Amino acid sequence: MATFVLIPGAGGAGTVYWREVAADLESRGHTAVPVEIDGSDPALGLPEYAAITDAAIGDHRDVVLVAQSMGAFTAPMIGKRDALDRLVLLNAMIPLPGESPGEWFEATGSGEARRAANAAAGRSNEFDLDEVFLHDLPADRKADMSEGDRDPAETPFGQRCAFRAWPDVPIHVLVGADDRLFPAEFQLAVARDRLGIAGEVLPGGHLVAKSRPAELAARLVGYLDAR
């Protein structure tokens, strides 16, 4: 049995976002630890997010570290690399060493990719939170995210991701086929360019842990079965 430590994206809401996936993993006999990060607190930034994640790992071993979206900037900065079995990046902002989240958007061309995907699908380029993030969530989970939503603080967006190399463990990249923030083809290209990894596509949008929790949990456990 494994321990899954689950890092949220910008704004936090870790226990809310990961609720269904954590329950599914635990029903399979695993331990799930959603990391609670108050991403709305301007006193906290990337170093603090990494320290909070280290505290969540605690004494656990054989950890599968799962990082959602901007959580990928936290993952390579943790101190407890020796506890990791593997790393999963989910709809992730994959950083280069020394890059800040604010720089990432321009460096990768994510805005252009989103606008092109919107044009191809006949969608407006107006940034509507419901249309971008909540479009594929059931009503009850959409309400969950509204209650747990936090406006991200600006602090981490200007901070460098302080790491030299990714942890020396297997790294998997999971991509939501219907992600409207970071289109699937864009994510796959970033994974190839920055990690030399062929990402895997699964159903769901940017908040796939809320829209497709069973499918996501099954994919995460599948990585263990393939060891």
Domain boundaries defined on the chain: 3-225
Question: Any alpha helices (H) in the chain, and if so which ranges?
Answer: 14-17, 19-27, 46-57, 101-108, 110-121, 129-133, 139-148, 184-195, 208-211, 213-225
pLDDT at 227: 65
CA 140 – CA 41 distance, rounded (Å): 27
Backbone angles phi, psi at 86, to 5 degrees: -165, 170
Local confidence pLDDT in tens for the 227 residues of the chain: 899 999 999 876 668 899 999 999 999 999 999 999 988 889 999 999 999 999 999 999 999 999 999 999 999 999 999 999 999 999 999 999 999 999 999 999 999 999 999 999 999 998 888 899 998 898 888 887 766 556 888 999 999 999 999 999 999 999 999 999 999 999 999 999 999 999 999 999 999 999 999 999 999 999 997 76
Q: Which amino acid is at 93?
A: M
For residues 161 and 70, the answer to whether their CB atoms sit within 8 Å is: no
CA 63 – CA 8 distance, rounded (Å): 16
DSSP state of 31: E
- 3 state SS of 75: helix
* Cα torsion through 53, 58, 59, 65, rounded to 10: -20
Angle at 89 between CA 84 and CA 90, to 5 degrees: 135
CA 179 – CA 31 distance, rounded (Å): 28
pLDDT at 68: 97
CA 139 – CA 66 distance, rounded (Å): 25
CA 37 – CA 44 distance, rounded (Å): 9
CA 121 – CA 203 distance, rounded (Å): 17
CA 136 – CA 53 distance, rounded (Å): 29
Q: How far is CA 210 from CA 4, 14, 43, 45, 120, in A?
A: 17, 12, 28, 25, 26
- Superfamily (CATH) of domain 3-225: Alpha/Beta hydrolase fold, catalytic domain (3.40.50.1820)
pTM above 0.85, yes or no: yes
Backbone angles phi, psi at 120, to 5 degrees: -65, -30
For residues 185 and 116, the answer to whether their CB atoms sit within 8 Å is: no
Least Cα distance to 94 among 203, 170, 173 occurs for 173
For residues 172 and 88, the answer to whether their CB atoms sit within 8 Å is: yes
Residue 172 β-bridge partners: 88
pLDDT at 152: 85
CA 44 – CA 40 distance, rounded (Å): 8
